[in-house]
Amino acid sequence: MIQIISGVSYDKKDVTTNGVRILRGGNINDLKISLFTDDIFLPEKYYDSEKQVQENDIIIVASTGSKSVIGKAGYILAPMNNTQIGAFLRIVRCLDKIFAPYTKLIFATEYYRGHIRQLSQGTNINNVKAEYINNLLIPLPPLAEQARIVAEIEKFEPLIAEYDKLEQQATKLDDEIYDKLKKSILQYAIQGKLVPQDPNDEPASALLERIREEKKAKLGKKYVDSYIYKGDDNCYYEHIAGREQDDLVEVPFDIPDNWAWVRWGNLSFSIQYGYNAPAKESGRIKMVRISDIHNNEVDWEHVPFCDINESDIKTYLLKENDILFARTGGTVGKSYLVTSVPQEAIYAGYLIRTQYSNQLSAQYLKYFMESSFYWMQLKDGTIATAQPNCNGQTLSKMILPLPPLAEQKRIVAKINEIFEML
């Protein structure tokens, strides 16, 4: 009744801006096929008439690390010229097209998706084998009833589409409310308004003094003493060793007396650019890219490998509590706190790594990098080009309000508690 066709594998260096369009998992959703401006195209040498999608084809996602995506199906409603499927998709083609309109409905059911999820569990990635589709038992009504079922469902599709539109609007509103609440909470946190002050806390100035000594011991002659202090006139000034006069520092809001303003560069022992190397499917050392990070978690199973000289590995090796910072493109400013490194890994060239004293709360610094004040400073320091980008200097010059260490920990605990409730 059906034929199952695998997708085309290709060399990434052959990707171009025209030619044969290659459908991928992102093009497939809710029995529909969506085309995007960033779709992949390949030269005509990749054209394969069998893998060319045809009207009434059902396209499924056959290989992915996501349980929610595996088996997802799209339907080719009308001819799509010069369009094929990529290696992680499969075509399910009805040998008799008359069965296709009804058959596609099977692939939208929870019965089918549950069948696929159960059978496609892999060690690192979920895969749909041809036998999983061929062995799927389906209820097959007479042809005339198939037509009536399809017609009845199509009659309700406008209502379903309208409901989906309203649901998306509601979801968008929910997301916006959450985002606004999150920004407000983080702003309260970095202004010292989220948790009560404790007069017994060691002031942040004493903490910064120890960090300066620690940094001086690490950097030796490269160390230049600098710090921000509050003058008798209640204004803030920056002292940099070797300069004749201290500079006035504009601060955006008041902070508690036992807090301190500090530049990120004064907290960091190093702000270092990542390693430039092509991604590989196998090897010894993995290379984390910004695309591998979602909700401050690395999808380690799909992080690629790279070739790197043994002498360079130590320089770029990721360590717990490192913070990575995207310096270019649409994700510029996005940050990631390294909480664990399950295997040896470095970080890609368009990321910047900052390392700092373990006398600080890493999670407090990460929350600062999610605050509106951080993003405002980032925007001011972004170079406006076709691909917006920042550099280590942008991050180094940022000022941030630093609480005593004990309060940093209380703030983190409170934010975690509130975010969990949200």
Three-state SS at 66 = coil
Q: How many CB atoms lie within 10 A of CB 219?
A: 12
Spell out the long-range contacts of 293-302 with Cβ–Cβ below 8 A and sequence spacing 24 or more. 293/324, 293/334, 293/336, 296/336, 296/337, 296/339, 296/366, 298/336, 299/65, 300/342, 300/343, 301/65, 301/124, 301/125, 302/65, 302/125
pLDDT at 387: 56
* Cα gap 57→74, rounded to integer Å: 8
Tokens of residue 190, six digits: 């970095």
Tens of pLDDT, residue by residue, the chain (422 residues): 789 999 998 888 899 888 999 999 999 988 889 998 889 899 999 999 889 999 999 999 998 888 778 899 999 999 999 999 999 999 999 988 898 999 999 998 999 988 888 887 765 678 888 899 999 999 999 999 999 999 988 888 788 778 778 877 877 777 778 888 889 999 999 999 999 999 999 999 999 999 999 999 988 988 899 999 999 999 999 999 989 899 999 999 999 999 999 999 999 988 999 999 998 888 889 999 988 888 888 888 889 999 999 889 999 999 999 999 888 877 888 899 999 899 899 999 889 999 999 899 999 999 999 999 999 998 887 665 555 678 888 889 999 999 999 999 999 999 999 998 87
* Cα gap 196→182, rounded to integer Å: 19
Concatenate the DSSP letters of all residues of 368-418 into one string: HTTSHHHHHHHHHH-B-SSS-B--HHHHHH-EEEE--HHHHHHHHHHHHHH
Q: Of 421, 338, 325, 343, nearest to 381 (Cα)? A: 325
Tokens of residue 313, six digits: 């590995």
| Gap between the terminal Cα atoms of the chain | 49
Supply the pTM of this predicted model.
Answer: 0.61
Q: Of 63, 57, 15, 56, nearest to 39 (Cα)? A: 15
Concatenate the DSSP letters of all residues of 211-230 into one string: HHHHHHHHHGGG---EEEEE
Tokens of residue 348, six digits: 């890609």
For the chain, the domains span 2-140, 191-421
Which CATH code fits 191-421?
A: 3.90.220.20
| The two domains 2-140 and 191-421 share their CATH topology (first three levels equal) | yes
> Which amino acid, 106?
I
CATH architecture of 2-140: Alpha-Beta Complex (3.90)
pLDDT at 384: 56
**CA 89 vs CA 86, 135, 267, 294, 344: distances in Å:** 6, 18, 47, 23, 31
pLDDT at 272: 92
pLDDT at 257: 94
Q: What are phi and psi of 133, to 5 degrees?
A: -80, -45
